[in-house]
Amino acid sequence: MFREILVEISDRVPGIENVFLAGTDGIVVAKLKEGPMDELLIVEATTLLNECNRLGTELGSGAINQFTFCFRDRHLVLQMVNEEYFLLGTHTDPTEIGKLKYLLKIKSLECYVNVT
């Protein structure tokens, strides 16, 4: 069920490398495809997520909903599903980043229905 959601995101966004559904504990629930750096990516994303949530608490802004990292050759978009799960998309085409952010937001709602 979750894999189909990830495939649909991939089919609609050119340049996507991978999409994950993972828990805030760093455990991957589903992923589009296998990659050599998957575990490291999810563990680091989870660490960053926890730090961003800590910052949100310090600022009185609440928990994070979505964040984007733009590197020279890769973009990462993390979208929260709920307080325990998130979607993470990795992407190489900066012109499609808006579409990726939008689809992750929409598909997070589908995931939410199935993880709660």
Query: How far, in Å, CA of 99 to CA of 51, rounded?
Result: 26
Span 4-12, average pLDDT: 95
Residue 116 scores a pLDDT above 70: no
Give DSSP secondary structure letters for the chain.
-HHHHHHHHHHHSTTEEEEEEEETTS-EEEESS--TTHHHHHHHHHHHHHHHHHHHHHHT--S--EEEEE-SS-EEEEEESSSSEEEEEEES-GGGHHHHHHHHHHHHHHHHHHH-
- Please tell me the predicted confidence (pLDDT) of residue 114: 83
Please write the tens of the pLDDT for every residue from 30-79: 999 998 888 999 999 999 999 999 999 999 998 899 999 999 999 999 99
Q: How many CB atoms lie within 10 A of CB 69?
A: 12
**What's 110's domain CATH number?**
3.30.450.30
Pair of tokens at residue 25: 């504990």
Domain range for 7: 2-115
Domain count, the chain: 1
